[in-house]
Amino acid sequence: MLLILVAAAAITHPTPQPPPELPASVYQARRERVLSELGGCVAVLAAQGEPSGVTEDFRQDGDFLWLTGVTEPDAWLLLAPKSKYGKTALYLRPRDPERERWTGPRAPLSPALRERYGVDVMGRGRPDRAALAAAQQADCVALIAPAGALKDDRPDAEVARQLATALGLRLVYKRDLLARLRSAHGPEEIALMERAVDITRTGHEAAARSTAAGLSERDVQTQIEYAFFSQGATGLSYSSIVGSGPNGAVLHWDQNSRLLAGGVLVVVDAAAEYGRYASDITRTYPVSGRFTPEQAKVYRAVYQAQEDIFAAIKPGVSMADLQKVAETSLKGAGYLEAFIHGFGHFVGLDVHDAGRYDLPLPVGAVITVEPGVYLPERGFGVRIEDEVLITETGYRLLSERIPRKLEAVEAWIASLRK
């Protein structure tokens, strides 16, 4: 026992707070927003994804999670705005006592469970009969399942079409509805994303300290991820990218196998997830602690592209508008041909979250600003990625506490490696 206590005392053990569960009222308000845009049409949505791995891990798709808070597979949501008592109905997969011995117990249907999810009706299995009954009170069926490909094999899209055909109802396409609504985050979501960014800062602090000659990309990765989880991260937003030298010119380098050498740059694209909400931050660190003149020239061009994008974020601007700003900036610096991806994306329940790129950015949207220049022929790449919250007058930089200006990055590295 004494040995165990001594070993435990030797381990730094922070006491991070677990993420708060969002109350049922948040999900109810979201469903009300959807109901108000259905124009009286009935709609169905099915959970997406399949359990994987030996332990049957399941990650709920963002749309279904956003509307219900349900984290298990094979669930359905039925929305019937013209129903008197059953406007929102949630259907879970049937219980299986034998399976639950492997995967854990599931709560039985009860008034308490219905109250937990804040819906009018709860059941199990597919909602085919209930959907038919609800559709008889309407004159249209709304197809709200997002389109992921031209070949559509989603079961909820199939049910919507079958409902419309069986009852001779109009089929109304609202396949961008959830993307539009989800892109404007409420205060409870923003708080979780801010915490995810704060945790991510500790990981990049570890990266700035450990991107030293003689260590490996994998060493840097482990230091980053230890920092994330020790500060309360509930997961990784994506697989950590640590690309040194020519690997930094590979956008999604994930082997993390190279030894770090003096004089090279290391692109670190790594971020923590907190309470299912993602973050997404990238920094480029010089192994020697200082950028060479050639590296500095490219870094300043990427930094200036960020500054130009920030300056263009005003009410009414779209992601497409900002992409043009990024391209214009890097073209002026002579690096447009080496800028091979979009300037940014939406962030939320998924690291590449739902949102319309052609519409004005709504207040409450969170986006990345991540220009980059990739020069494999010169053996390096530079990317700087930050998160921005869209406000009524412009934006707020959520990741402002993570140094990004060239001189600030060098000073940060120097202070951390003392």
For each of the domains in the chain, give its residue range(s) and CATH number, in order of start: 24-179 (3.40.350.10), 187-416 (3.90.230.10)
pLDDT at 324: 98
- DSSP reduced 3-state for 242: strand
pLDDT at 289: 98
- Read off the amino acid at residue 337: E
Question: Looking at residue 304, what DSSP letter applies?
Answer: H
Which DSSP string do the residues of 389-404 spell out, in sequence order? EE-SSSEEETTTTS--
d(CA 261, CA 136): 69
The strand pair at 372-375 and 395-397 is best described as unpaired
pLDDT at 10: 55
d(CA 10, CA 261): 32
Averages of pLDDT over each 10 residues, the chain, 418 residues: 47 73 97 98 94 86 97 97 96 92 91 97 96 96 90 90 97 97 97 98 98 97 97 97 97 94 98 98 98 98 98 98 98 98 98 97 98 98 98 98 98 96
